[in-house]
Amino acid sequence: MSTIFKVPSIACEGCALTITKAIKEQYPNLQVEIELESKEVIIEDSTNFETVKSLIESSGYPVLVID
C-alpha cells in the first residue's frame, strides 16, 4: 500500500532531496519516491500519513491533496 501526497510546489531535484531528507530523518526505513513531473511524493507502507504530511509541509512544501 502506498500513500500519494500531491505537492504542487515541487520544482526540481533540490526540492525532492529536501523533502526526502525531512522524511528520512524521522522514518529512515520508509521508501520515498518523488515524481517531479506529476509533483507527487509517494510513500510506501506509510501508516503515519499525517506525520509525513507535517514533515513535508514543515520543509516548506504545502500538501494540496492526499490520495
**Cell numbers for 52:** 509525513
Q: Tens of pLDDT along 46-58?
A: 667 889 999 999 9
- The secondary element (H helix, E strand) that includes residue 22 is helix 13-26
Count of the separate structural domains present in the chain: 1
Q: Residues 17-63: pLDDT tens digits?
A: 999 999 999 999 999 999 999 999 999 876 678 899 999 999 999 99
CA gap 32, 55 in Å, rounded? 13
> Kind and range of the H or E element at 2?
strand 2-6
- Structural domain including 25 reads 2-66
Which residue, chain included where needed, has cell 500513500? 3
pTM: 0.89
CATH number of domain containing 49: 3.30.70.100
Name the 3-class secondary structure at 44: strand
